Amino acid sequence: MADEAKAKGNAAFSAGRFEEAARHFTDAIALAPDNHVLYSNRSAALASLHRYSDALADAQKTVDLKPDWAKGYSRLGAAHLGLGDAASAVAAYEKGLELDPSNEGLKAGLQDAKKAAAAPPRRGSSGPDAIGQMFQGPELWSKIASDPSTRAYLNEPDFMHMMREVQRNPSSISMYLSDPRMMQVLSLMLNVKIQRPEASEPSQSTPPPPKQQQQQQTPPSETKARDVEPEPEAEPMDLTDEEKDRKQTKAAAQKEKELGNAAYKKKDFEVAIQHYTKALELDDEDISYLTNRAAVYIEMGKYDECIKDCDKAVERGRELRADFKMISRALTRKGTALVKLAKTSKDFDIAIETFQKALTEHRNPDTLKKLNEAEKAKKELEQQEYYDPKLADEEREKGNEFFKEQKYPEAIKHYTEALKRNPKDPRVYSNRAACYTKLGAMPEGLKDAEKCLELDPTFTKGYTRKGAIQFFMKEYDKAVETYQAGLKHDPNNQELLDGVKRCVEQINKANRGEISQDELQERQNKAMQDPEIQNILTDPIMRQVLIDFQENPSAAQEHLKNPGVMQKIQKLVSAGIVQMR
């Protein structure tokens, strides 16, 4: 269940739904409180929401649980940096790099932290803390709500997160001064008009124009400062013969790649392999030729060749400092090939680990989907490997012996093992339901009884088990329905007939007023939680019928001629909601 919540959190994070992601990771942590990865993931989600104080707490928990895991220090550094503590961020990133010196994410984070640490402090006698104090008073929200220029901000979740972060940590206001909404609120609080420079950064809530998006996607090593006016195009420099040859070779390699892509689309895989191989011979500094060839090998069923190409792509990509997305793509394709080759659960473990590595490089929804599918396939294979009907019968017999000796916990243990060996045996679910009933664990017993009937709707014993549990839970109306359903398959079964009789007696006691007010109230409270009862009571027609029973008996008798109405009235009577005297 923790893995399921984690997967939901990862998917929400990939889609940019950080609040939802944090909730799913919180659910997963409740189920697996010692899993360091869950705290790391929630820290990333909280940092994306600018809740850096909470992100820091999760990051610290991550490194406490797993002090030798480099990524934990990446989370710790990001949280410190978000809170404006550049010195602590530098220390965290440096600690992470001691564990993983080649980690590009840690290197980039350290560079940002050092820049922040070296930046001159803001001038002014008040300082960011003093300015931030203005946001502490209750008049903040009333001023924002009453001003037409800021009122709409209250409906923007990221704005609310930003304001709460400043309220929690006044010094963090300096991080948000590039947001025009913050400047507008600051202008409102200071009662002055603040002129913003034209070249300031856009807020995170405002999508950048297409040209700016392209600049943001440019790798840091290629990013250059640009003047407002475009620079004149430089005159082409004379290339050396060696540079000309290299340029021509790369162009030829790209041409081979395009031919390979075209052949791949036509499913002419042998030709595609030839072109990608030729491209690789011409230029070994572009790992896309390897990953493309690996994709073709998957289509051809040559999984070992695919894995070799993916390993080469990862190794060469590390040497060339290739884009993380390319490394992730190679690992994802390797994982796909490993799944195709997997024959045992241990084989799936290797594939799962490969997909997880791919996700650490780049969180791609397709990779996450493949990871979830691999984990599901592993679980199914484990069940198949463990499946043994003969051993299941032996465990069931052992459970029966303990049941006869009234050693119900021991019996449950053997019945559970029998179900692992053969999860399709309805008898074992029925027997374990009986054990749970003896121990007073009614919800668990009811679940087993329902599973028994799901596997075999004609298994009479399943109906007696389920009906008995519902009777003990004082859900007499439901128990009657269960017993009657069983009688359709075995009309002369005495246990089922006796069960109906006992339920009718209890229902009639309520109608005759022979039960205490507390017991009646308890039955009615349980019944009101039943969706079917709720639907009946909110039905306008049924509400009128109930009013007529109290105020116009003759009209009520007419209603009872309708079989549908009569059935619903009987349902209310059986549940104790309506009493017929």
Angle at 481 between CA 537 and CA 503, to 5 degrees: 95
For the chain, the C-alpha Rg in angstroms (whole number) is 34
Distance CA 226, CA 298 (A): 44
Alpha-helical (H) ranges within 149-194 are: 157-168, 180-190
Identify the pLDDT of residue 219: 38
Residue 464 CB contacts under 8 Å (≥ 6 apart), including other chains: 483, 486, 493, 495, 496, 499
- As to burial, measured by CB atoms within 10 angstroms (0-12 exposed, 13-18 middle, 19+ buried), residue 91 is middle
| CATH topology assigned to domain 2-118 | 1.25.40
Distance CA 364, CA 112 (A): 25
What CATH number is given for 524-581 in this structure? 1.10.260.100
Closest among 500, 504, 498 to 485, alpha carbons compared: 500
- As to burial, measured by CB atoms within 10 angstroms (0-12 exposed, 13-18 middle, 19+ buried), residue 366 is exposed
Distance CA 44, CA 50 (A): 10
Identify the pLDDT of residue 230: 35
Give me 175's structure tokens. 């991080």
Closest among 432, 488, 439 to 465, alpha carbons compared: 432
- The pTM of this model reads 0.40
544, amino acid identity: Q
Domain boundaries, the chain: 2-118, 131-196, 248-386, 387-517, 524-581
DSSP 562: S
In the numeric block, the tokens 């939680």 are attached to 529
DSSP, collapsed to helix, strand or coil, labels residue 235 as coil
Residue 90 CB contacts under 8 Å (≥ 6 apart), including other chains: 77, 110, 113, 114, 117
Q: Which residues of the chain have pLDDT under 50?
A: 122-129, 193-237
| CATH topology assigned to domain 248-386 | 1.25.40
Find out if CATH 3.40.250.10 is the number for domain 387-517: no
Identify the pLDDT of residue 581: 56
Closest among 116, 75, 115 to 95, alpha carbons compared: 75
CB atoms within 10 A of CB 86: 19
Domains 2-118 and 248-386 share a fold: yes
Distance CA 323, CA 540 (A): 63
Identify the pLDDT of residue 150: 81
In the numeric block, the tokens 């809740």 are attached to 51
Decide if 389 contacts 422 (C-beta within 8 A). Answer: yes
Identify the pLDDT of residue 221: 33
In the numeric block, the tokens 């609120």 are attached to 185
Angle at 220 between CA 215 and CA 221, to 5 degrees: 115
Closest among 2, 3, 1, 23 to 12, alpha carbons compared: 23
Distance CA 45, CA 39 (A): 10
Closest among 15, 53, 13 to 38, alpha carbons compared: 13
Closest among 15, 81, 87, 85 to 43, alpha carbons compared: 81
